[in-house]
Amino acid sequence: MTKSLRFPALCLVFFSLALALFSCAAIAEETRQSATGEDPSGLRVMTFNIRYNNPKDGADAWPNRIDMVADRIRQSADVVGLQEARQEQIQDLAGRLDEYQWFGVGRDDGQQGGEFCPIFYRADRLKLLETKVAWLSETPDVPGSKSWDAAITRLMTMVKFRDQKSGGVFWMINTHFDHRGPQSRIESAKIIRTTAQQFAADYPVVVTGDFNCLPDSRPYQIITDDDDASLLADARTITQTPHRGPDSTWSGFREVEDGRRIDFIFVTSDVQVRRHVTFGDQVGGRFPSDHLPVVAAIRFAPR
């Protein structure tokens, strides 16, 4: 009796394993399609606050998250604006993402000091044409400067790219607003908007970042000014297909808190958003960061 049952039981085990593998593959394919918009020529733009390297984070400390962060970038982004990246974290990612190159400077001194807002990009997809850096202060050309009620020095990284698939040229701005100073966030929003307006005279513009403010806040309203909606729009509000993922970009490493959407991708009116996704998935019960990565699959409309 025992022998006669062994073969069917073994078959059941193998069938269950095959079903699990098939399900994982299906989920992976759905994730890929969600991020690309099922459009081979679409450009996948990501914003991702990767949380600075803090040993006090325990099980969520950077050494335990490096591979999760690198995998998410590789799977879902042609170009990504990172926030809170320190020099050692950038080197860790660069060592795992051979197909990417990057540009950025440390906010403390314009070189290696402090956190970066680097932009990583696939070298086989995008060609870097020009770079700029400015500080979110009353003296934007002075490295390490800060103004108003900012608790910490803040900057923006700007890169001009050519998309080698479509031939389109665009500017990308990546930033991280202050977490404490409300006036600093308002003034920073004005700087971002003015800069985008200057670039938009000639090229499409994409803005990524952790803005430390909600959609009903004054900084958000300045960036997406209803009086001139043709300049910048929240990619989520103009996506051609329904948004996928949580209504939040914050987890604090524990759980996704509804309504905490503080990481955004903004685009000018000559950028079409095919899909918009916020990834809230975990690996082994852990989040890659305390923020969730956001991806917009875009195409450039004729000017």
**Rounded CA separation 247/224 (Å):** 19
**Farthest CA pair distance, the chain:** 84
Q: What is the pTM of this model?
A: 0.88
In this predicted structure, the answer to whether residue 22 has a pLDDT above a threshold of 50 is no
CATH of the domain spanning 40-300: 3.60.10.10
Query: Could you report the per-residue pLDDT of 96-135, keeping only the tens digit for each?
Result: 999 999 999 999 999 999 999 999 999 999 999 999 999 9
User: Chain centroid to CA 184: how far?
Assistant: 22
Report which residue type is found at 105: V
What pLDDT is recorded for position 301? 87
With beta carbons less than 8 A apart as the criterion, state whether 57 and 50 touch.
no
| Average of per-residue pLDDT across 90-94 | 99
Q: 189: pLDDT confidence band, cut at 50, 70 and 90?
A: very high
